[in-house]
Amino acid sequence: MPPELSDDELMLLVKKGNENAFTQLFKRHSSAVFGLCMRFFSGNRSRSEDVSQEVWTKVVVYSRTYERSEEHTSELQSHLNLVCRLLLEKK
């Protein structure tokens, strides 16, 4: 899969069940999601890993209703941040 695909294009492929597209999104954004969790949980790696995994599960669910966006990366990043924060608040 070419690395130049936007987040928007990757999400549309994930919506169709493309696992390679999900892997590329994960590689692109997993550090930021995990970093946010680590900050929230004051460096608790175990809790951060658990919540990060939940976030990525939610991305797969979200992909089922994903629609094309004009603001490619910013919409996905905003959604990842929102989901992460919501999950963090529940913990």
- Please tell me which residue, 3 or 34, carries the higher pLDDT value: 34
Identify the pLDDT of residue 90.
67
Identify the pLDDT of residue 18.
96
Tell me the pTM: 0.76
Quote the CA–CA distance of 21 and 84 in Å, as a whole number.
20
pLDDT above 80 for 86: no
Quote the CA–CA distance of 59 and 57 in Å, as a whole number.
5
Q: 12-71, pLDDT tens digit by residue?
A: 999 999 999 999 999 999 998 899 889 888 999 999 999 889 889 988 988 898 887 665
